[in-house]
Amino acid sequence: MLEFDFLTPNRLDESTAILEETGGCILAGGTDLIPKMRNDLFFAPILVDLSNIDELSFIEEKDDQIVIGALTTHQAIAESALLKSTNPALVTAAGTVGCVQTRNRGTLGGNIANASPAADSVPPLLVYDAQIRLLNKAGERTMPLTEFLVGPGMTKLESGELIHSVSFSQLQGAWGGAFQKLGVRNGMAIAVVSVAAAIVLDASGKVSDTRLALGSVASTVVRSPKAESALIGHEPTPEVVSRAAEACAEDISPISDVRSTAEYRRHAAIVLARRVLEQAAAEARGRLV
Amino acid sequence: MKSIQATFEINGHEVTLSSAPNRTLLEVLRQDLGLTGAKDACGGEGECGACTVIMDGKAVNSCLVFIGQVQGCSIETIEGLSGNGDLHPLQRAFVEVGAVQCGYCTPGVIMASKALLNENPHPSDEDIREGLSGNLCRCTGYVKIVDAVRIAAEQQPRR
Ligand SMILES: Cc1cc2nc3c(=O)[nH]c(=O)nc-3n(C[C@H](O)[C@H](O)[C@H](O)COP(=O)(O)OP(=O)(O)OC[C@H]3O[C@@H](n4cnc5c(N)ncnc54)[C@H](O)[C@@H]3O)c2cc1C
Ligand code: FES
Ligand code: FES
């Protein structure tokens, strides 16, 4: 492996100071970075290891917002009671990342910063309109996660900046959320297609709010406005849900690669969209009073 | 490249060593500490689990941990299981049911199983398969491995 200097700040302010001074590359759980560096697909002269920054590892509820620190591992998300009751789609997604060993090291911040269209934590965050908080030595900024993710491996993160956390509002009333992923096998597989959905029903059982997000079918994880508008104002009957799922095909642009073909991805996206919408709708109905 | 110092606990003993930072915990275990139980079977891609060790109570792939990240941590490897010569119940069960063939995956499988049983002392077969989904074995077909973990779990006192 190529040579680099290794810096280990112990506090958050020290981290941003070191990042500013050195322009070093952030290391978190290393599950994306280390294999890339070993295969010479990536090189950084300076690594700044954030794994000691406990201040960035938390899941909390603050003023109706759920906030998750960037250093939180997928395993911690998968086991979180707070997230189970507020964003079950994210909990399901985190539980499908790699295997136990990967989940024990891999972090939410690394999953987002890596900006893979297949990143499992992203669809469930997009359906909650998550915001991302970025920090540098001078200050901080917050933006919608959709805006942060620019393309495969590309984000709005600037040199000297780190991801502090992501946050989202809880859904209110009769809501339901779900995530499903299709891989080439059951365990340890990067998604061929992944879909997350959230549905909120009004008192009459009609959809008052819904979001659908799909992974591995475009250059970033994408929302499907077409599917969403096909649901709004309607009761989520099997016919309505099927029509909405079909509509998502217009919002995606899958490619063929080693994992699958464009046609298969398009077909699978529709099937998965239907399943997650049905699951979310059933959960939402259960909360109707 | 500046070398770095790392102090950590390995199977209950504290060690301090200096190393180039571009080495993984797996390389240091095998090359510097002579602990060759953890293996590299996939070229350090995080795919095979043969390098699994327990880091602060959790199963991790030691090929995906830079040595600088181990500072202050507690590491358990297969060599720590039978310190005084007695086999650990998991090791005994693996021998009894014949869950070992070539043995290359075995240290990683046993460490992943140990971490699993620490968190979930009485797992279902499904839990065992899920807990070991990151450990590839090219010989056994997994049936005996799952049997061995179940037997070791049954021997633990019920909570
Ligand atoms: C065997 C295996 C299976 C996998 N399976 C899946 C899967 O099923 N689904 C999935 O989505 N992913 C999967 N991955 C990919 C990976 O585990 C995840 O993307 C993980 O979340 C990355 O987090 P990390 O902490 O390990 O990141 P690192 O490798 O430490 O970093 C990744 C990138 O993010 C940057 N970064 C990290 N933290 C921050 C921060 N706080 N602020 C700014 N930048 C930061 C780093 O500079 C680097 O560019 C798998 C990986 C392996 C090895
Ligand atoms: S050597 Fe294969 S996972 Fe570490
Ligand atoms: S016993 Fe040979 S790989 Fe598992």
CA angle, corner A62, sides to A60 and A63, nearest 5? Answer: 155
Q: pLDDT tens, A18-72?
A: 999 999 999 999 999 999 999 999 999 999 999 889 999 999 999 889 999 999 9
Please say whether the dihedral angle defined by the alpha carbons of residues A4, B53, A259 and A74, taken in this order, is positive or negative.
Answer: negative
Tell me the HSE value of A150 on the side-chain side, using a 13 A CA sphere: 7
Q: Which of B27, B58, B80 is the last residue of a domain?
A: B80
What residues pair up with A47 in beta bridges, in sequence order? A6, A25
3-state secondary structure of A107: strand
DSSP state of B158: P
Please give the distance, rounded to the nearest whole angstrom, from the Cα atom of residue B83 to the centre of ligand 1: 35
Q: Which of B34, B58, B80 is the last residue of a domain?
A: B80
Is residue B158 over pLDDT 70?
A: no
Q: In sequence order, what are the residues at sequence separation of 6 or more whose Cβ sits closer than 8 angstroms to the Cβ of residue A236?
A: A199, A201, A207, A277, A278, A281, A284
- Position A30 scores a pLDDT of 97
Report whether pLDDT(B122) > 70: yes
Percent of chain A at pLDDT above 90?
Answer: 90
Instruction: Decide: helix, strand or coil at residue A27.
Output: strand
Residue type, B116: L
Burial A184-223 (b: 16+ CB within 10 A, else e): eeeebbbbbbbbbbbbbbeeeeebbbbbbbbbbbbebbbb
Least confident window among A14-23, A170-179, B81-90, B135-144: B81-90
A254, pLDDT greater than 80: yes
Would you say the CB of residue B133 lies under 6 angstroms from ligand 1?
Answer: no
Give the minimum alpha-carbon distance from B100 to chain A in angstroms, rounded to a whole number: 21
Per-residue pLDDT at A188: 67
The CATH number that applies at residue B34 is 3.10.20.30
Do A75 and B130 make contact, defined as CB atoms within 8 angstroms? no
Average pLDDT over residues B125-141: 96
Give the tens place of pLDDT for each residue, B26-48. 999 999 999 999 999 999 999 99
| Domain at B116, CATH number | 1.10.150.120
pLDDT at A135: 98
* pLDDT of B5 above 80: yes
Higher pLDDT, A168 or A258: A168
Amino acid identity, position B43: G
The answer to the question of residue B24 being in a domain is yes
Among residues A237, A251, A241, A229, which one has the least CA distance to residue A273?
Answer: A241
Q: In what order do the strands lie in the sheet with A25-27?
A: A5-7, A46-49, A25-27
Confidence grade of residue A190 (pLDDT, cut at 50, 70, 90):
confident
pLDDT, tens digit, for every residue of A86-127? 999 999 999 999 999 999 999 999 999 999 999 999 999 999
Are residues B56 and B23 both part of a single domain? yes
**Ligand 2 centroid from CA A196, angstroms:** 31
Domain A53-169 grouped into CATH 3.30.465.10:
yes
Per the structure, the complete domain to which residue B104 belongs is given by 89-154
Cβ pair B49:A101 closer than 8 A: yes
Q: What is the DSSP string of B62-103?
A: GGGSBGGGGTT-EEE-GGGTTTTSPPPHHHHHHHHHT--SS-
The CATH homologous superfamily of the domain defined by A174-286: CO dehydrogenase flavoprotein, C-terminal domain (3.30.390.50)
Mutation choice for ligand 3 from B47, B94, B139, CB with most ligand atoms inside 8 A: B139
* Residue A29, ligand 1, Cβ within 6 A: yes
Neighbours of A251 (CB within 10 A): 18
Whole-model pTM? 0.96
pLDDT the model gives residue B60: 98
* Residue from the list A8, A29, A187 with its beta carbon closest to the beta carbon of B133: A187
Which residue, among B7, B54, B66, B146, would best test binding to A if mutated, counting the most A CBs under 10 Å from its CB? B66
Cβ–Cβ below 8 Å for B130 and A31? no
| Residue owning tokens 């958050």 | A12
Residue given tokens 């992203």 in the structure block: A122
Edge to edge, what strands does the sheet with B74-76 contain?
B13-19, B4-10, B74-76, B52-55, B58-61
Q: What percent of chain B lies above the pLDDT cut of 90?
A: 93
- Total domain count, chain B: 2
pLDDT at B159 over 70: no
Looking at ligand 2, which atom is closest to the CA of residue A101?
Answer: 3
Residue A52: its pLDDT value, please? 87
A243-251: average pLDDT = 95
Question: Across the interface, do A31 and B71 touch by the CB < 8 Å criterion?
Answer: no
Residue A115: Cβ within 10 Å count = 21
Domain assignment present for residue B159? The answer is: no
CA of B140 to the centre of ligand 3 (A): 6
pLDDT above 70 coverage of chain B, percent: 98
What number does the ligand 2 atom closest to the CA of B51 have?
A: 4
User: Ligand 3: distance of its center to the CA of A248 in Å?
Assistant: 44
Of the candidates B1, B60, B116, which has its C-beta nearest A105's C-beta?
Answer: B60
Buried b / exposed e along B52-79 (16+ C-beta atoms within 10 A): bbbbeebbbbbbbbbbbbbbebebbbbb
At A257, the pLDDT band (50, 70, 90 cuts) reads confident
Residues of A in contact with B45 (CB under 8 A): 35, 38
